[in-house]
């Protein structure tokens, strides 16, 4: 087994991404007064590149490029450059507030540069970096949940792509998506504004490359990427730069190499699978301990590393059981898949602080909480109303003829019952009563639960009952906001799309169907839930084909629905329907416009072009259509 010293050295080199000190100097200047620096191009080349503090290793403060620059975590465009004796003077304009600023550079014989900005003293900078990861002293979280704007910006050197990218931002307290398109300018620069409820780790995707970053509400993070080769040359600037660089390497360091899908499908026993994961976790915990030593000066970094370890282990164990359940439903004759896991399978939950709000920061939390809220022990006590209406295809309308009031009373009773039964299950498995994670799952399902009630007054009773149970003010506030969005008399039932590129893209798609109510289905051939929804509405579409008042429209993109599989699926299941396969970039704009990360996603567009705030899903569509329209044959 490797010694701790060896592990520390290996991790230090991997975290840095650079094996030895190196100098990146596009156009080195040997003396401060070189006479050949006579034009703007040569002047700019002499100072172009990333400059780091000479006295603080790896602290990046200046990035000078062809037409833009990053200066102390702010983006600027070039206005002019000139030679003044031994200095090069660069005049720039702030992209955010249009302020004009001036920098002075004095290139040194050793390749370093003396830089003076605004009223600061002249400081020595270098293009050299070393193998040590950037570590800053940061105290642990004091107020984790706080809403504020944040800015992500940067520059892609040697940029060759044409499309932008999308950050899949979401509020995991409520399961509300807020995807944000990042437009990449022709010069390689990019900026975007984010609205965050708490700190997040996220991914910036550039082609087939993914860069992890970490940002907190109220912060600005700058990223430099070299668009040549393997994307190893990545720099980050801002208050969260050190944690961003840490996260960018953690996905390689802390992960389980286990074919969970195949093992679940083949009926691998849960206890044996858990043993394998336990063994693998010993090695990963050693890596975590070594990382904690490297980042000893940052209690916040150590906290986030521990969260990553806990969530990765929890994800793979919960994913295994989720896949087993799926395959057990498909292969009812497989006796191995009928074997249930005992409660001891879930004792890994005892190693996770379910009251720790900072779990939300990890990008793996989304998958973890989704698997957590639908894990078998909880599913067994799920509300019948919730399961029947939202997790399975509706049955025939031959239901008992009881009043709406009686239905609402039964639904509320089951909801209250689930509060106590569910908490009891989680307490038994984790040893933690009424935890933050458990309460969050109740808020995350609220939009679906409220739809099971026939009247606002009945839904309000559900809210009142839930609020008595919740102990976190942020969750109570979100609960009330969701209710007001759905039921408040002042709440709008529809909204108008904002003017902009995304709306223009969407209007061009639907313009041939003006004057109708449009049911929009965002889908992909690679999405099983999407295909289920499409196939479940086959008869409904047949009954309302060529209807003068309603139109079904299906929208997918080229990447998630490859041409061959798309054509085959449309020929079999959407023949004669209105289906659009658009470019990936256009689809990302629509994702941001309608605020969805995952698919299937549904929208209902009224005849006047307004968008319904609470549209029906594929499973609710039949009830909606039959309520509002006669079948085509009846017209």
Q: 439-454: per-residue pLDDT in tens?
A: 999 999 998 899 889 8
What's the CA gap between 172 and 534, in Å, rounded? 27
Indicate if the pLDDT at residue 572 is higher than 80.
Answer: yes
pLDDT (0 to 100) of residue 330: 83
State the Cα angle at 601 between 595 and 605, rounded to 5°: 80
CA distance 623 to 632: 16
pLDDT tens digits for range 80-104: 999 998 899 999 999 999 999 999 9
C-beta separation of 572 from 538 below 8 A: no
CB within 8 A of 150, min separation 6: which ones?
A: 193, 194, 195, 196, 215, 216, 217, 218, 219, 220, 221
User: Over 80: is that where the pLDDT of 74 sits?
Assistant: yes
Q: Which two tokens stand for residue 303?
A: 């906290």
**Residues contacting residue 627 through CB under 8 Å, at least 6 positions apart:** none
pLDDT(590) > 50: yes
pLDDT of the residue at 489: 58
Q: State the pLDDT at residue 614.
A: 83
How would residue 27 be classed by pLDDT, with cut points 50, 70 and 90? very low
pLDDT in tens, 471-487: 999 999 999 999 988 88
According to the model, what pLDDT value does residue 62 have?
96
What is the spatial distance between Cα 515 and Cα 511, in angstroms, rounded to a whole number?
9
pLDDT band at 24; cut points 50, 70, 90: very low
Q: What phi, psi does 211 have (nearest 5°)?
A: -115, 120
Indicate whether 554 pLDDT > 90. Answer: yes
- Secondary structure (3-state) at 236: strand
- What are the E-state strand segments in 494-536? 494-495, 517-522
Q: CB under 8 Å to 305, separation ≥6 — which residues?
A: 246, 250, 254, 288, 291, 292, 295
Whether residue 90 has a cis bond before it, omega within 30° of 0: no
Q: What torsion, rounded to 10 degrees, do the Cα atoms 44, 47, 52, 55 define?
A: -150
- Domains, the chain, ordered by start: 39-126 (2.40.128), 148-254 (no CATH), 375-392+403-489 (no CATH), 494-628 (3.40.30.10)
Percent of the chain with pLDDT over 70: 89
Q: What is the mean pLDDT of the chain?
A: 87
pLDDT at res. 33? 38
């Amino acid at each position: 087994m490797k010694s701790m010293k060896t592990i520390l050295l290996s991790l230090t080199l991997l975290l840095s991404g650079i094996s030895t000190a190196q100098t990146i100097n596009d156009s080195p200047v040997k003396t401060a007064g070189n006479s050949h620096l006579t034009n703007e191009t040569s002047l700019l080349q002499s100072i172009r590149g990333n400059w780091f503090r000479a006295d603080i290793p790896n602290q990046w403060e200046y990035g000078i490029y062809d037409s833009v620059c990053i200066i102390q975590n702010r983006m600027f465009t070039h206005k002019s450059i000139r030679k003044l004796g031994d200095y090069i003077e660069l005049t720039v304009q702030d992209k955010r507030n249009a302020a004009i600023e001036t920098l002075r550079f004095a290139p040194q014989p050793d390749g370093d540069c003396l830089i003076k900005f605004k009223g600061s003293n002249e400081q020595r900078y270098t293009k050299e970096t070393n193998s040590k990861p950037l570590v800053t002293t940061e105290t642990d979280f004091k107020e984790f949940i706080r809403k504020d704007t944040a800015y992500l910006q940067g520059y892609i050197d040697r940029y060759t792509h044409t499309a932008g990218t999308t950050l899949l931002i979401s509020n995991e307290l409520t399961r509300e998506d807020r995807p944000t398109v990042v437009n990449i300018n022709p010069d390689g620069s990019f900026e975007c504004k984010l609205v965050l409820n708490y700190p997040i780790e996220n991914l910036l995707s550039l082609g087939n490359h993914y860069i992890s970053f970490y940002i907190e509400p109220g912060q600005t993070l700058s990223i430099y990427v070299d668009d040549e080769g393997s994307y190893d040359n990545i720099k980050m600037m801002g208050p969260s730069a050190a944690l961003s660089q840490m996260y960018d390497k953690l996905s390689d360091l802390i992960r389980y190499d286990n074919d969970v899908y195949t093992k679940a499908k083949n009926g691998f026993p849960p206890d044996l699978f858990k043993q394998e994961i336990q063994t693998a976790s010993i090695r990963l915990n050693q890596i975590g301990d070594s990382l904690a030593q490297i980042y000893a000066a940052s209690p916040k970094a150590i906290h986030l590393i521990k969260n990553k370890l806990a969530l990765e282990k929890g994800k793979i164990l919960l994913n295994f059981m989720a896949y087993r359940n799926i395959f057990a439903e498909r292969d009812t004759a497989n006796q191995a898949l009928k074997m249930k896991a005992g409660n001891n399978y879930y004792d890994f939950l005892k190693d996770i602080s379910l009251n720790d709000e900072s779990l939300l920061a990890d990008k793996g939390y989304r998958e973890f909480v989704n698997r957590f809220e639908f894990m078998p022990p909880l599913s067994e006590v799920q509300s019948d109303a919730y399961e029947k209406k939202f997790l399975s295809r509706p049955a025939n309308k031959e239901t008992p003829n009881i009043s709406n009031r009686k239905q609402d009373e039964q639904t509320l009773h089951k909801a209250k019952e689930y509060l106590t039964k569910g908490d009891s299950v989680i307490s038994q498995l984790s040893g933690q009563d009424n935890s933050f994670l458990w309460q969050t799952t109740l808020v995350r399902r609220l939009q679906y639960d409220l739809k099971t009630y026939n009247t606002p007054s009945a839904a309000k009773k559900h809210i009142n009952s839930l609020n008595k149970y919740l102990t976190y003010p942020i969750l109570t506030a979100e609960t009330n906001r969701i209710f007001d969005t759905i039921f408040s008399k002042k709440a709008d039932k529809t909204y108008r799309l904002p003017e902009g590129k995304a709306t223009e893209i969407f209007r061009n798609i639907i313009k041939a169907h003006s004057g109708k109510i449009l049911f929009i289905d965002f889908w992909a051939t690679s999405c099983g839930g999407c295909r289920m929804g499409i196939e479940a509405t086959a008869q409904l579409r047949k009954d309302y084909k060529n209807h003068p008042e309603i139109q079904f429209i299906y929208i997918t993109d080229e990447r998630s629905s490859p041409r061959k599989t798309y054509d085959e699926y449309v020929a079999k299941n959407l023949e004669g329907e209105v289906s659009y396969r658009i470019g990936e970039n256009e689809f990302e704009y629509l994702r941001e416009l309608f605020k969805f990360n995952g698919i299937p996603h549904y929208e209902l567009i009224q005849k006047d072009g307004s968008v319904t705030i609470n549209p029906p899903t594929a499973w609710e569509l039949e009830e909606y259509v039959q309520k509002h329209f006669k079948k085509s044959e009846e017209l």
